[in-house]
Structure 1
Amino acid sequence: MGDKIRVVLLDDHPLVLEGLKNRLEKEPDIVVPKTFDDPRDLLEDIASCQADVLVMDIAMPHLSGFELGKQLKEQYGLSLKIILLSGYTYDEFYSKAYEIGAHAFLSKQSTYAQIINAIKQSMLGHALVAEKVLGKSRDVLTAVEREVLVRIAEEKTNKEIAQELAMSQRTVEHHMTSINQKLGVKSRVGAVSKGYESGLLGSIHSGGADED
């Protein structure tokens, strides 16, 4: 069936770490190569873990999950999916999670099944955007949709986008449909125009996501 999803965990509560690790490793397609209780240690060692997904708490000593997530996204881009957990579900936390490119923001009251679903959906390129975020802003683009839009602006074909983002052309088409709906346009040209008009594309390029 292919390689297992490599999930790294970060939480400063040992019981939470152990419980989540044990549950995830009961899944036949998931392995947890390492857990961390200090974000500084994770920054040093995550490259050696070859992680596909990072599931981490937001409130931690030394470095918040938002700060750490931003650093990791700048370094690894879409190759590392990030799922944030928090005991607090403030609206601004949801918005900030998607701004830094997280694939999901879940309450610590979430079930193991919900966390596992978020992990598997992230590997398919899907971001689980909370309804409250979509309700506040119809034009919220997920991390993957932003990456697709950047490449559309570079006049790349669906086939080229699919190859660069390691997804099928059909998935690219689904993302394109979602982008058009959220931006209120009907074509690639319209999406790019709206992207520049709103500053969305400019903010992506200035973030250095496409730089080596």
Structure 2
Amino acid sequence: MNDNIRVYLLDDHPLVLEGLKNRLDSEPGIEVLHTFTDPREFIAQTELYCPDVALMDISLPYMDGFQLARLLKERYGNSLKIILLSGYTYEEFYYKAYKIGVHAYLSKQSSYGKIINAIKQSMLGHILIPENIGTTKDSNDALTAAEREVLQLLAKEKTNKEIALELAISQRTVEYHLTSINQKLEVKTRIGAVVKGFELGVLSFLKEE
């Protein structure tokens, strides 16, 4: 059974589409079903093939990304995850996007790694809020309840398989959580995440066990 995350790409710049498609297709667990330059064709094909994630530009012909996102949310609700890419990083654009119900609003300058993480996190139901939006949070508060559970088990030197069994989730979901934890804590390794967790007080109670 193919359990890849199925993605549609929409951008009116063919070179951007080609670059994104090539990179995403090389990522395990992600499959680009189709690329589009015209939102009208995108709408028609979405009804036929039902992708998991729509990754699309804000600036489009015939309608903008906000209008399209609103239409998609009305038709598909949360069954279709929406990630917007834009060259505009105005705070009001962020608020407008999240009011519609998108799962992420990313700058076109974002790394492929950040885009890939947004795709995977959206499938877990997470909404990625850019750090420059006027909200107060630290790395401790940024971790979701599920991520805290994973980090706790990581601190007990559990393997991905053991974490998956204990939390009754798939190993792929564990990997998604670990990617998000590392990004939020700004570390690159499992050990780094645990060390940072203790430094921030997220794992302080584990010392008493």
Common fold by TM > 0.5 = yes
1:46 aligns with 2:27: no
Number of the residue aligned with 1:93 = 93
The RMSD of aligned alpha carbons is 2.0
Number of the residue aligned with 1:26 = 26
Query: How far off its partner does 1:66 sit?
Result: 0.2
2-structure distance, mates of 1:104, 1:126: 9
Q: Percent identity over the alignment? A: 62
Query: How far off its partner does 1:134 sit?
Result: 4.8
Query: How far off its partner does 1:47 sit?
Result: 1.8
2-structure distance, mates of 1:36, 1:122: 21
Structure 1: 5+ residue stretches without partners: 137-167, 170-212
Structure 1 length normalisation: TM-score?
0.62
| Correspondence list, 1:17-166, <5 A | 17-135=17-135
Runs of 4+ in 1 over 4 A off after TM superposition: none
1-structure distance, mates of 2:5, 2:71: 22
2-structure distance, mates of 1:19, 1:104: 20
Structure 2 length normalisation: TM-score?
0.63
Match of 2:121, SS? helix
Match of 1:106, SS? strand
Match of 1:131, SS? coil
Q: CA offsets per residue over residues 140-194 of structure 1, 9 Å max, x none? A: xxxxxxxxxxxxxxxxxxxxxxxxxxxx99xxxxxxxxxxxxxxxxxxxxxxxxx
Count of residue correspondences: 139
Contact 1:34-1:49 at 8 Å conserved across structures: no
2-structure distance, mates of 1:11, 1:49: 19
2-structure distance, mates of 1:15, 1:131: 29
**In the alignment, residue 13 of structure 1 is paired with which amino acid?**
H
Structure 2: 5+ residue stretches without partners: 137-167, 170-209
Number of the residue aligned with 1:161 = none
Whose radius of gyration is greater, 1 or 2? Answer: 2
1-structure distance, mates of 2:132, 2:113: 21
2-structure distance, mates of 1:26, 1:49: 21
2-structure distance, mates of 1:132, 1:30: 28
